[in-house]
Amino acid sequence: MSSKLSFVRIPKIVQHSFLVVLLVVTVVSAFYQTREILPALQPQTGQNYICEAPFSDNDDTFDVYVTDKSVALMAIERFCSDKVVRRQFGNVNVILGQNDYDTFRYINHGVVDLALVKSNVVEAFGADSIYGYENIASHPDYSAYFIALKEKPELTKEYLLGKKIGILDYPSSRSGHIVPKTVLKSLNLSDSNVELSYYNSHQELRRALLAGDVDIISSYWGKGDDDILSKNYTTSLHSGVSGMRWYLKMQTRNTDLRCATQQVIKQIAMTHPRTYYQSVELEQECGNE
């Protein structure tokens, strides 16, 4: 007597579902095995400067955020020797921001006690109302320009077509990024018909222009520019660009710290080599209130 084998026919949709599940399990398993071998990539953060030795056993640090290395070095030197800071804190930590991620991390989350940033950054994050950041000193507003080496740039589509334009790789910079991109967009220009080159600082922009790597840069006009460039070959893009502001976290009325911080800011301004930082206005300066 012969026996007859019977088979259950599995619908195709079930087969496909099984294959998808098997694929997901394989990928997840491979991910966890790989994660044990490869180190996790951490986002780049700012460079830190601290005092040579703690002032006391106080674990509280006076945290300062800036985006200019020269200001960072001058700030750490002066805050480390300030008697009010030494009395109220155990150490000073000056953070040199490298990019917009750093600014977001330290300002949006209210991490630092003092920050040198633009007002639009603080206002965008609502850091003034949430964390009590108070503007205690201001550097001047300025204008944004297209700057060329041998001719005055024209703000026309025909002139800018095919030009190599240097801008800052810093999306929150008004003169080096926001303003020039806004102008180009208003002229219906984009990456497809204008060659944009990105640089890390205004100094790098000037070096690129002088070297002939770009035809035009977008930046401010500084006092030292008269020695290497011609003001005749600039075209104004926007006037009244918001300057840098010093913001101190004033969740309590710590007037001693406010006055001490303003004095350090004034000392930095008096000795800084750049004309821009030399000009500073203290808001409700101590003794003048």
CATH code: domain 47-140+243-282 is 3.40.190.180
Quote the pLDDT of residue 280.
95
Contacts 24+ apart (CB under 8 A), 209-215: 209/147, 209/148, 209/149, 209/166, 210/149, 212/149, 213/164, 213/166, 214/164, 214/165, 214/166, 215/148, 215/149, 215/163, 215/164, 215/165
Digit-by-digit pLDDT tens for the chain (289 residues) are 444 434 345 555 545 554 544 454 444 444 344 333 333 333 445 689 999 999 999 999 999 999 888 999 999 999 999 999 999 999 999 999 887 788 888 998 899 999 999 887 888 888 888 999 999 999 998 899 999 999 999 999 999 999 999 999 877 778 899 899 999 999 999 888 899 999 988 889 999 999 999 999 999 998 789 999 999 999 999 887 888 999 999 988 899 999 999 999 999 999 998 888 899 999 999 876 5
Domain ranges of the chain: 47-140+243-282, 142-241
Q: Do domains 47-140+243-282 and 142-241 have the same CATH topology?
A: yes
Cβ neighbours for 261, distance < 8 A, ≥ 6 positions apart: 114, 136, 246, 248
Total-model pTM: 0.69
The CATH homologous superfamily of the domain defined by 142-241: Periplasmic binding protein-like II (3.40.190.10)
